[in-house]
Amino acid sequence: MRKNILKTLVFIILLALYSGCGANESNNPVSTYEILLTSASGDKLALQDNVTFRQGEAEGTVIHIYPDSLKQTIDGIGTSFTESSAYVLAHLDKDMRHQVMEKIFSETGADFTLARTHIGACDFSVKGRYSYADKEEDGLESFDIAPDKEGFSAKEYAGIKDETYDLLPMIKEALAIKNRQQDNQLRIVSSAWTAPAWMKDIEDWYIPGAPENNWQGTGGSLKAVYVSTYADYIVKYLDAYKAEGVNIWGITPVNEPHGNNGQWESMNFTPESQNEFVKSELGPKLQAGGYDDIKLLIYDQNRDGIEDWTDVIFADPESAQYVYGVAVHWYESTFRVYEEIFDRVHEKYPEFGIIHTEGCIDDLGKDAPFGVADPERFKESNWFDNDEFWWNDNATDWGYTVPWEGVKVEDHPVYTPVHRYARNIIVSLDHWVKGWIDWNIVLDRNGGPNHVGNFCGAPIMIDTETQEIYYTPVYYVLAQFSRTIRPGDQAVNTQMQLTGLGSDALHACATLNADNILSVQLLNTTDKPIIYNLQIGSQFAEVEIAANAVQTVRIQL
Q: What is the CATH number of the domain that holds 502?
A: 2.60.40.1180
Shared-domain flag, residues 454 and 535:
no
- Judge whether 17 lies within some domain: no
Q: Hey, which residues does 437 pair with through a beta bridge?
A: 78
pLDDT of residue 4: 45
Shared-domain flag, residues 483 and 432:
yes
Contact partners, residue 225, CB within 8 Å, separation at least 6: none
Shared-domain flag, residues 302 and 375:
yes
Shared-domain flag, residues 187 and 65:
no
Among the listed residues 260, 256, 192, 258, the one whose alpha carbon sits nearest the alpha carbon of residue 230:
192
Shared-domain flag, residues 281 and 344:
yes
pLDDT of residue 405: 60
CA distance 193 to 118: 7
Shared-domain flag, residues 388 and 400:
yes
Answer for the pair 532, 548: CB distance below 8 angstroms, yes or no. no
Range of the domain at 528: 23-72+491-556
- Judge whether 516 lies within some domain: yes
Contact partners, residue 149, CB within 8 Å, separation at least 6: 166, 167, 168, 169, 244
- Helices marked H in 392-472 — which ranges? 417-429
- Judge whether 3 lies within some domain: no
Shared-domain flag, residues 440 and 335:
yes
- Judge whether 397 lies within some domain: yes
Shared-domain flag, residues 30 and 95:
no
Contact partners, residue 156, CB within 8 Å, separation at least 6: none
- Judge whether 93 lies within some domain: yes
Amino acid at position 268, single letter: N
Shared-domain flag, residues 281 and 411:
yes
Q: What is the CATH number of the domain that holds 235?
A: 3.20.20.80
Question: Considering 431, 462, 487, which residue would you say is the last residue of a domain?
Answer: 487
Looking at the structure of the chain, the number of domains it has is: 2
How many other C-beta atoms can be found within 10 angstroms of the C-beta atom of residue 417? 24
Shared-domain flag, residues 477 and 537:
no
Question: Considering 447, 472, 487, which residue would you say is the last residue of a domain?
Answer: 487
Question: Considering 487, 515, 534, which residue would you say is the last residue of a domain?
Answer: 487
Among the listed residues 548, 390, 398, 524, the one whose alpha carbon sits nearest the alpha carbon of residue 460:
390
Amino acid at position 9, single letter: L
Among the listed residues 474, 508, 509, the one whose alpha carbon sits nearest the alpha carbon of residue 489:
509
Shared-domain flag, residues 58 and 171:
no
Going residue by residue through the chain, which has 557 residues, state the pLDDT in tens, using 9 for 90 and above.
Answer: 444 444 444 433 333 333 334 444 556 778 899 999 999 999 999 999 999 999 999 999 999 999 999 999 999 999 999 999 999 999 999 999 999 999 999 999 999 999 999 999 999 999 999 999 999 988 899 999 999 999 999 999 999 999 999 999 999 999 999 999 988 899 999 999 999 999 999 999 999 865 554 545 589 999 999 999 999 999 999 999 999 999 999 999 999 999 888 889 999 999 999 999 999 999 999 999 999 999 999 999 999 999 999 999 999 999 999 999 999 999 999 999 999 999 999 999 999 999 999 999 998 877 765 444 455 554 555 899 999 999 999 898 988 766 556 678 889 888 999 999 999 999 999 999 999 999 999 999 999 999 999 999 999 999 999 999 999 999 999 999 999 999 999 999 999 999 999 999 999 999 999 999 999 999 999 999 999 999 999 999 999 999 999 999 999 99
Amino acid at position 446, single letter: N
